[in-house]
Structure 1
Amino acid sequence: MKKFLFFILFLSPLVTATAQTVKNGSLVIGKVDSIHSKILNENRKVWIYLPASASDTKYQKQHYPILYLLDAESHFSSVTGMIQQLSEINGNSVLPEMIVVGIPNKNRTRDLTPTNALTGPEGKKYPMFEKSGGGEKFAAFIEKELMPHIDSLYAPSPQRAIIGHSFGGLTVMNILVHHPELFNQYIAIDPSMWWHSRKLLNETPAAMANKKFERKSLFVGIANTMTTGMDTTKVISDTSGDSEHIRAILALDKVIKNRPANGLQYACKYYNDDNHGSVPLIAEYDALHTLYQGFGLSQGEINALSDPNSGINIEQFIAEHYQRFSNKAGVTVLPPEPYINNTGIYLLAVNQPERAHALFSLNIRNYPKSFSAYNSMGNYYASISDQKKAIEYYSKALAIQDNPETRTKLKKLRAGN
């Protein structure tokens, strides 16, 4: 435990020092981009969050998973904060570093409903629903315009996720049911499955039976929207409009659980102490933990990495760990370069140079265009007084990116100092 705590304390300054959160006296968590959509016939803004290493030129700017976030104006700050905390801060690697693409609303009811309908869950007509039913066009916008735009800017990994709440959750389920190839991971929080007299819900059993969802994941979060005295068992037999929202979601849960052979990795959680408005925060947190279970190293594994008596082949150990997660995710997921590099730096500092060498070698193999990978290997050879090799790797690093500190170290080595 002491080694683990020291490991975290050692890494914390390294990680927080690279976080680009303050610019010109303002706290900045992302940037605004825009794209003209021919499909929607309008200009659309998107909010983009980049992990710290994406703006740090030491690291290769590619291979980040992309998370598409609906209702960005409501959830962007909380989701990006969670991702930063769980992937960058205090040495955390619960999640991979990822790019978040938030999509603010322009006409929420139009874009986030798959079909046109006029009535709410209780049967009452709502004038605001008259322009509903643009969900298929919105999905086409994401697939054919927004995704190619984002891919052209950031060269991401094939791993894509989408989060939506309420009507956004309905959109997530519509894409899963009718366009499952668009994302690997789907997070639907308190989705409005009551929409259009449960039309999408009624289409779901056939999709679950006829389509394959291998290596697709779905997390559904359910809020407590029931009246006093109700529970998730009693509400099933209720017929009032007030309970239709949760009844439809519980029906969805039953449909999916009845189709386990289609390959979908499914998790569902009910939040008794949260209502429709408060549930997104805790459900997003749980969903990210659930969908990325097995990504990060456990405390025991971290301790083993720093224990010279553990007898493990550290490079093989880490490579196999992330290969297991890759097999689960259905895409190649490389060990995070900054995390592996910082772990190597720690091992070098506590006089375990051969273990550090193994990690730096792993990074060079996975990120052959990375300044940081070669620079750290140069540091390793300098630490064991192999001047020739240190010069070789510092030179390789500087061929990728100029760096005053590395240039100074190389100059001193060549001068024999």
Structure 2
Amino acid sequence: MMKVDLISLKKAIFFCFVSLFSVTALKAQTIKNNLIVMGVVDSVHSKILNETRKLWVYVPARDSTFAQQKYPVVYLLDGDSHFPSVTGMIQQLSNTVCPDMIVVAIPNTDRMRDLTTNKIAALKTSGGGENFTSFIEKELMPHIDSIYPTTPYKTLIGHSLGGLMVINTLVNHPNMFNSYIAIDPSMWWDRGILLNQAREVLKQKNYSGKYLFMGVANTMPKGMMDTTQARKDTSAATTHIRAILKLGDMIQSDTAANKLKFAYKYYPNDTHGSVPLITEYDALRFFFKNYGLPQETRMKIYNKDSNPEEVLAEIQSHYDNISKQMGYKVALPEDLINNFGISLITRIPKMAFAFLQLNIKNYPNSYNVYDSMGDYYDAIKDKTKAIAYYRKALTLKEFADTRSKLNKLLATKDTEPKKSQKK
């Protein structure tokens, strides 16, 4: 008979539980009238561009159980092409790999005008990139911040000519965004004029706290085996990839001085058209590699011998580090702390209480934190305190499930036999 390693088995069961918890915690897309709704169509009139621009906006589906949250914002160039894939990826990775984020996709009206840095005579509308950048900074961003629940952290994503604009923004307007994703950027534009400008600027500016990830597709001609050959080649067939590789090598040599957090990756099995998705995925993992709660901490949460105060201090320290990266205070998520607390009520009551009590401290105006503490006291058979917490929850929000639990406890309490009094 095969022997079973009980410790390994317990770890495997725990891993499956945590994985399932993480997946089921993800918010589903909204369903309305039998349609799966990914976002809303918004618009803003631009005086700078002299036109009204349509926007596709994704806002994470909010569970009304929890307090209102604010989110970092992703600005997506060529928005109509990349909106479904980027929103789906962020939704899948949110709160385990990266934060939930709002996505603002900007569909094109005149791509050649908006996504090129300077004019080429043969392309009549080209060269409006700086105007387009001014539109984003002075009209679009204020519009988004005034309507949607945003935080200051912003990311810019662009592919091809959009990638050219990402690099242009990093070089000439570095404070507009915190992180930049340039996907196979068209650095060849106008004989590499931006490449030459970047060489000088990147040596001088301080990019501390800024991130850039660049994806490079395999656009080499058939028969060319690797990027070493491409770097040495002088034919027109390698102009595109050579310019990108040159930029990557140049930035990498300057990061020690300019403090830019930079990574770039060559994808030998992806073309110019297929490279966006994998680049965006790797970029998010690079930007937020320390965002998710470490597995070691999760193991401690479910260890009955752990000290609750020490575990919570470790979690708080983790979110303090996230706050430093994001540039603003990132609170411990109410839903995450609540779900840990609820799942621990019957298993490790002392840990459950510590989590639920912390949520009351951090979110005193949320009805949910009192409802959950009511569930805790109900589970440990302290009906008096359970009733008090359910009543507190209902003073903040009338919720049918909480009302039902309260009424059930009150009915049970009324039917309990009274203790006989001594004469």
TM-score by length of 1: 0.89
Report the more deviating stretch, 236-245 or 3-12. Answer: 3-12
Kept in 2, the 8 Å contact 1:216–1:329? The answer is: no
Deviations 1:97-131 (A, max 9, x none): 1111111111111111121124xxxxxxxx5x321
| Correspondence for 2:170 | 176
Listed one character per residue, the Cα deviations across residues 120-159 of structure 1 (whole Å, up to 9, x for unaligned) are xxxxxxx5x3211111111111111111111122231221
Native 8 Å contact 1:62 1:157 kept in 2? no
Number of residues paired by the alignment? Answer: 399
* Larger Rg over CA atoms: 2
Offset of residue 290 of structure 1: 1.0
Work out the CA distance in 2 between the residues paired with 1:301 and 1:71: 40
Q: How does 1:75-224 map to 2 (within 5 A)?
A: 75-87=82-94, 93-118=96-121, 127=122, 129-224=123-218
Partner of 1:332, secondary structure, is: coil
Change (3 A) 1:383 1:207: farther
Residue in structure 2 matched with residue 225 of structure 1 by the alignment = 219
| Alignment match, 1:297 | 293
Deviation (angstroms), 1:308: 1.6
Equivalent position of 1:343 in the other structure: 340
Deviation at 1:342, TM superposition (A): 1.8
The structure-2 alpha-carbon separation of the partners of 1:369 and 1:269, relative to structure 1 and needing over 3 Å to count, comes to: farther
1:210 counterpart letter in structure 2? Q
CA-CA distance at 1:354 after TM superposition: 2.2
Q: Which residue of 2 aligns with 1:323?
A: 320
- Cα displacement (A) at 1:315: 1.5
Alpha-carbon offset, residue 5 of structure 1: 0.7
What are the Cα deviations for residues 317-338 of structure 1, in whole angstroms up to 9, with x where unaligned?
A: 1111121222234333333332
The superposition leaves residues 74-116 of structure 1 with CA deviations (integer Å, 9 ceiling, x where unpaired) of: 11111111111112xxxx6111111111111111111111211
Q: CA deviation at 1:299?
A: 3.0
Deviation at 1:375, TM superposition (A): 2.6
Matches of 1:38 and 1:412, distance apart in 2:
61
Report the Cα distance in structure 1 between the residues aligned to 2:145 and 2:296, rounded to whole angstroms: 37
Q: Any idea what the Cα deviations from partners look like across 1:397-417, whole Å, max 9, x if unmatched?
A: 334433111123334445636
Question: Tell me, which stretches of 5 or more residues in structure 2 are unaligned?
Answer: 1-11, 415-423
Aligned twin of 1:248: 243
Aligned-partner Cα distance in 2 for 1:290–1:46: 27
Give the structure 1 partner of residue 419 of structure 2: none
User: 1:158-216: per-residue Cα shift (whole Å, max 9, x none)?
Assistant: 21111111111111111111111111111111111111221211111232222211111
Q: Report the CA distance between 1:385 and its aligned residue.
A: 3.7
SS at match of 2:74: strand
> Per the alignment, do residues 211 and 318 of structure 1 end up closer, same or farther by CA in structure 2, a change over 3 Å counting?
same
In the superposition, relative to structure 1, how do residues 163 and 405 fare at CA in structure 2: closer, same or farther (>3 Å)? same
TM-score by length of 2: 0.88
One-letter amino acid of the counterpart of residue 82, structure 2: H
Amino acid at match of 2:324: N
The structural deviation recorded for 1:11 is 5.7
Q: Secondary structure at the match of 2:76?
A: strand
Instruction: Check 1:404–1:213 CA distance in 2 against 1; reply closer, same or farther (3 A cut).
Output: same
Are 1:356 and 2:365 counterparts?
no
Please say if residues 73 and 104 of structure 2, whose CA atoms lie closer than 8 Å, have aligned partners that are also in contact: yes
SS for the counterpart of 2:167 is helix
Quote how far apart the aligned CAs of 1:4 are: 2.1
Distance 1:351 1:62 in 2: 29
RCO comparison, higher one (Cα < 8 Å, 6+): 1
Q: Where do 5+ consecutive residues of structure 1 fail to align?
A: 119-126
